[in-house]
Amino acid sequence: MKLGPLWLKIQVACGDALAMGPGKADLLEAIITEGSISGAGRALGMSYRRAWLLVDEMNRCFDPVLVDTLKGGGLERGAKVSATGLAVLEAYREMEREAAAIAERPAYARLRTHIRDQPVTND
């Protein structure tokens, strides 16, 4: 997440896989809105293959799975974020809000004291 010039990225690993991160959280939200993996991918400017791989990686990391895919209908068949998916998404967003508190703390203010608005150029 971007808080002005402060960028925070939270990822949760599961063995060699990435269980949750900013792209996967956005994808869960898009599946809720769009009702399918292909629609969610389109909404995020992502290929169907990429969206499907992200869902597959998430689902392999959680029990029960975060996204239930409905049988039949080809690429446009529906997908639904499970109750676990909703709980994990909510927990992830709460972690982001908690981490965002550092933007209000003295350490960041100290760092900003010395930073330029724009980098100087070398020429």
Give residues with Cβ within 8 angstroms of 92, minimum separation 6: 10, 12, 20, 25
Q: Does 95 bind a second copy (CB under 8 A)?
A: yes
Give residues with Cβ within 8 angstroms of 30, minimum separation 6: 39, 40, 41, 43, 44
Q: Which is nearer to a second copy, 37 or 39 (CB)?
A: 37
Alpha-carbon gap, residue 42 to 109, rounded angstroms:
39
Query: Min. distance of Cβ 24 from a second copy in angstroms?
Result: 12
Site track 30-49 with a second copy (rule: CB under 8 A), x = hit: --------------------
**3-state DSSP call for residue 16?**
coil
Rule CB under 8 A: which residues touch a second copy?
5-17, 19-20, 56-57, 60-64, 84, 87-88, 91-92, 94-95, 98-99, 101-102, 105, 107-108, 110-111, 114-122
